[in-house]
Amino acid sequence: MGWYADVLFPKAYDCLMGLAKFDAQRRRSLQQVRGTVLEVGIGTGLNLPHYPAELTHLTAVDPNPGMLRKLARKTPRIELEALQAGAENLPFEDGSFDTVVTTHVLCSIPDRARALAEIRRVLRPGGRYVFLEHGLSPDPKVARWQRRLNGIQRRFAAGCLLDIPVREELDAAGFEFAELEQYYLKEQSRTHTYFYDGVAIPAGS
């Protein structure tokens, strides 16, 4: 982690990603969680106010120490166990969780195939992967602009890419979709806000 990603970006993150338009998405998606829950890429904890009231304990990981320092200054109602770890190497036994959550996370994971394999590994049989991720637009013109803008986006958003083919990558990782919505966030840049919003389960579970 460089100075920008570890120090400056965490300070700006809540302003960038804590807007009402994203809060509404988070609140709706997180109503899908149940049982024992792992959040991968918790960041500064923007999801915490939006978990269902019945959830009392959350396990979470994030690789960025700057994000975790900012998270530690918050006082969530949920009992929180937060560890510094990347999605590609989750420090948990197989089948540890009923639900795994990612929101606005896959775009910045260097090895997404490995991360998705880890998410699948730590899910119990019948477990659910709840995801809210921006990614590749189906519109070829928008997709071309996403690829053009990737260099700038990666530099200023700590590794984030705009053109992640989320549906295809979850398919390749052995997930089936229990629910899936794909949409542009209204009145926002189409290059940055094409969303994949749903629930996936390990194929064959």
Number of Cβ atoms within 10 Å of the Cβ of 40: 26
Question: How do residues 62-94 score in pLDDT, each as one tens digit?
Answer: 999 999 999 999 888 999 999 999 999 999 999
Task: Look at residue 21 in the predicted model and tell me its pLDDT.
Answer: 83
Query: From CA 143, how far away is CA 41, in angstroms rounded?
Result: 25
Query: From CA 178, how far away is CA 169, in angstroms rounded?
Result: 16
CB 100 within 8 A of CB 71: no
Angle at 160 between CA 157 and CA 165, to 5 degrees: 155
Check whether 9 has a pLDDT greater than 80.
no
Angle at 87 between CA 85 and CA 88, to 5 degrees: 105
Question: How do residues 23-41 score in pLDDT, each as one tens digit?
Answer: 999 999 999 999 999 999 9
Neighbouring-strand partners of residue 58: 80
Burial tier of 88 (Cβ tally within 10 Å: 0-12, 13-18, 19+): middle
For the chain, report the end-to-end CA distance as a whole number of angstroms: 37
Question: How do residues 135-144 score in pLDDT, each as one tens digit?
Answer: 999 999 999 9
Q: E strand or H helix at 181, and its extent?
A: strand 175-184
Check whether 4 has a pLDDT greater than 70.
no
| Sequence-ordered list of residues with C-beta below 8 angstroms from that of 50, at least 6 positions apart, any chain | 23, 26, 27, 30
Q: What is the DSSP letter of 25?
A: H
Please name each of the domains of the chain with its CATH number. Answer: 3-202 (3.40.50.150)
Task: Classify 71 as helix, strand or coil.
Answer: helix
CB 165 within 8 A of CB 136: yes
The whole-number average pLDDT for the span 102-120 is: 97
